[in-house]
Structures are given as C-alpha cells and as structure tokens.
Amino acid sequence: MTPVKPDVGVIIVAAGSGSRTGSKELKQFRWVAGKPMLLHSIQSFQARAEVAMVVCVLPREYVGDPPPWIFQSDSDRLLLSVGGRHRGESVSNGLEDLPSECEIVVIHDAARPLVSSETIARVIEEARKGNGAVAALPVADTLKRVDSNGRVVVTVDRFGLWRAQTPQAFPREVIERATHRRAEGIQTIFFLDEIHRFNKAQQDALLPAVEEGLVILIGATTENPAFEVNGALLSRLRVYALGRLSPEEVELVVRRALGSLEGPLPDGDAIEFLAARSEGDARTALNALEIASRTARTASRTSSA
C-alpha cells in the first residue's frame, strides 16, 4: 500500500463569541451527540492520515486556558491560534500557523460538527486538482424575491441553487496569495465574462472567496442575473445594468482604437458607418474595425507585390 502523504492543513474556525445565540456558553463548546461540537470536528479531521495539522482558532481568552476536553485528540497534530476581529482575520491567523508542508488548506466551521468523512475526502480531492471546493446542500426552502416595499415579486426557481457549507478546501498557494494581498490592502479582482455560462453549482465555488473578501468578483452577463446567477452569490453582489452606447459614444471608442492599428486607416464616413451599425455595442464595432484593418493591410501588400 502506498503511504499517504500528510500534506493537508485544517483550520477550524471557532472564535465566535456566541452573541447570536444569546448565551454565555460558546456555541462551539456545546455538547452534541456525546461530545462538544469542536471536538467532533477535530477528531473527524485527525482521523484522516493525510491531515498533517489541525489549527483551532479560538477566542483569545481560551487559547491560553483551553477546555480540557480539547486534548482528547492527537495533541501532536493540534495547534491553537488566536481569533481575529472577524472570520476572515481568524482564517488568516490560522493560515499563518499551519506548517509549511501543508500544501492543501481546508477551512471548517466548528458549528458544523457532524461533517462526514466522504465530504471531507471530496473537497480535498478537488483541491488537489488545483480548484477551490465547497461543501453545499441543495436549497429545499421556498424562496421569494421581494421589492423595496417588501412585496413578493416572484417565486425563485430553486433549480441549481445550493447552500454553501463547510468544509472548504483550496490549494495553499491560492488562498495564501489572496490572503496576503488583502492584508496589504490589495484585493484580487476576478473578472468573469459570461458568468451565466457557469451553472449555479459551479458559481457556488466562488462563494467562499467572495464571503471572505479575498476577491472582488466582477461578473458580466447579457442575461437577467436574477435568473442566471446563484441566489447566494447574487445577494453578495451589486448589480449594474449597462445600456447601449449611443452612436457618438461608439465612434469615440473607435477613434481611440485607431492609434493601435497599422496600415491604412478608415476615413470619417467609414467610422460613422461602423458606429451606426454596431447597435450600441462597442465590442462589435471594434471587432469590425479589426477585420477591416486586416483586410486593408492584406490588400495593400497584394497590390504592392
């Protein structure tokens, strides 16, 4: 049997204050199915031979004085890290504490204690292919979209809608690079043209990075985003409707592009014609301009010969 390479590092985010539950006891320390939630997660990941280290990110006051049950685990593969002001900072702190041999990073919420071994294996397998992976569940609830007055506008089709969960897995270099850029105040811009061509399950893979603020996602589509973009992703985006350009605006774009062309240039009448026939789409005009320029250069070389 080929030995398993221990190259997976796990960050369990357990730094929440429990304010949403209204309880003094931390949610991640509550007992479920015979043991504390956090211990369930630690033991589930440490049961896997490829996991080199589990980093538990805790509130500062618990790092120096953790609950004793936390050591009912493999202490040689357990580190405690101090939580940040928000989840993204907590993940960053945990990432810094992972040993260098951890080439795959798995992020998991302590409040999800009963993750299956199969789910863990699948996200790790996908990360090994160089992709980000997120565990998700299909949406079963009835979803309504409302207007600014709270009136129901439409029942949202649940087909292709998924609820993002954890664990989430990434190649280390990908999340580390984005995390460091964010710490330096430099955010990664991810432009995705024709986002509607990604099915909604594929769009789910973008959620973790968007939620953590690791990337600024700009998605372009010619379709209605209310129907073509994952609802969870759409709720985290700002939608801008871009209208057609006027012929004068298209002409301005074309004239600016003339400086990058070689050979014969179109005259004023030709430029006005391109602008009028482009139907307000500058890309159509520029494509036509490039074709015309290539044709003119070819004709010029032929006549010279």
Residue for token pair 């009835």: 142
pLDDT band at 21 (very low <50, low <70, confident <90, very high): very low
Which of 78-92, 99-113, 155-169 has the least mean pLDDT? 155-169
DSSP string, 130-151: T--EEEEEE--S-EEEE-TTS-
Half-sphere exposure of 273 (CA within 13 A, CB side): 8
> 286 lies in a domain?
yes
Same domain as 97, residue 8: yes
Same domain as 251, residue 238: no
Q: What pLDDT digit, counting tens, does each position of 178-233 carry?
A: 777 777 777 778 888 888 877 766 777 777 778 777 778 888 888 888 888 878 88
Same domain as 157, residue 78: no
b/e per residue 155-185 (b: at least 16 CB within 10 A): ebeeebbbebbbbbbbbbebbbebbeebeee
**Confidence at residue 54, expressed as pLDDT on a 0 to 100 scale:** 97
Same domain as 258, residue 214: no
Q: Which of 212, 242, 272 is the last residue of a domain?
A: 242
Contact 105, 209 (CB under 8 A): no
**Confidence at residue 169, expressed as pLDDT on a 0 to 100 scale:** 95
Q: Which residues, other chains included, contact 288 with Cβ-Cβ below 8 Å and sequence gap of 6+?
A: 274, 277, 278
Q: Which of 115, 149, 179 is the last residue of a domain?
A: 115
Q: Which of 195, 221, 242 is the last residue of a domain?
A: 242
| Residue 194 domain boundaries | 130-242
Same domain as 230, residue 210: yes
Same domain as 261, residue 226: no
> 281 lies in a domain?
yes
> 285 lies in a domain?
yes
> 80 lies in a domain?
yes
Half-sphere exposure of 78 (CA within 13 A, CB side): 20
Residue 8, domain CATH: 3.90.550.10
**Confidence at residue 226, expressed as pLDDT on a 0 to 100 scale:** 82
Domain count, the chain: 3
